Amino acid sequence: MNNDTIEFEALSTAGSLPGLQVLARQGQVRHYRRNTVLIQQGDHGQQLYVVLSGRLREYALSTDSKPREITLAVVGAGQLVGALALDEGPHCASVVTLSAVVCAVVSREAALAVLRHHPGLAVDLLQLALQRVRMATETTRLALFSDAYSRLSALLLRQEAEREALCAADSLPAMTHAQMAQHIGCSREMVSRLLKELVMGGYVVREPDRVYRVRKRLPARW
């Protein structure tokens, strides 16, 4: 069994949709280092990335004189990025690796050929797209209609839910204050102040692994 076969089989372990596994086998397995930009906002993509292992961040960047970032999603094994390449339109977000990442890189032409021969794959891609639309919509809603504390508390609670869904051998990595700020669209200083107050109030504790864990119900407002 070669390394590529092992990587593809990891998709089944990750619980990916069957159609995504079919798509992945049409691509080339490539390895990327941490902090590698795979997709640049505004570029016209020609390939899709099926994530076999590792974690990536999808984010939007403002175009004003002081560029700001907001994280739209963090994705891992069994997910797809770059689907907008299918219509040859520009990407509306950038994607960067958060860790060492392995992807099956599928050209637009190969992906379209697979879709023609496997109509069920289109349903799986639609399901993934709808999941991402929900995530992006929720991120946008929080960014526009809530304050920094509400966005931070939502992030902390979401992380708690993700940790409960993971096994002990696959723990969720700690996020820095800067990364949290990128997720919720505010300054690092604001995140630091809010976390300090939550820790002092006994609502949140910082574990030795630098992960912040919720210890009691967070206040509705701060």
Same domain, 33 and 123: yes
Q: What is the mean pLDDT of the chain?
A: 84
Report pLDDT digits (tens) over 146-157.
899 999 998 999
Environment class of 66 (CB within 10 Å of its CB; exposed 0-12, middle 13-18, buried 19+): exposed
Same domain, 9 and 59: yes
Same domain, 96 and 36: yes
Q: What is the pLDDT of residue 5?
A: 54
Same domain, 195 and 112: no
Asked if the structure places residue 220 within a domain, the reply is no
Q: Residue 55 — very low, low, confident or very high, per pLDDT cuts 50/70/90?
A: very high
Asked if the structure places residue 85 within a domain, the reply is yes
Q: What is the pLDDT of residue 51?
A: 94
Query: Is the per-residue pLDDT at 168 higher than 50?
Result: no
Q: Which residue has 């910082």 as its token pair?
A: 206
**Last residue of some domain: 123, 144, 165?**
144
Q: The pTM is what?
A: 0.73
Report pLDDT digits (tens) over 85-96.
888 888 989 999
Q: Which residue has 């939550």 as its token pair?
A: 198
CATH of the domain at 10: 2.60.120.10
Query: Is the per-residue pLDDT at 6 higher than 60?
Result: no
d(CA 164, CA 174): 15
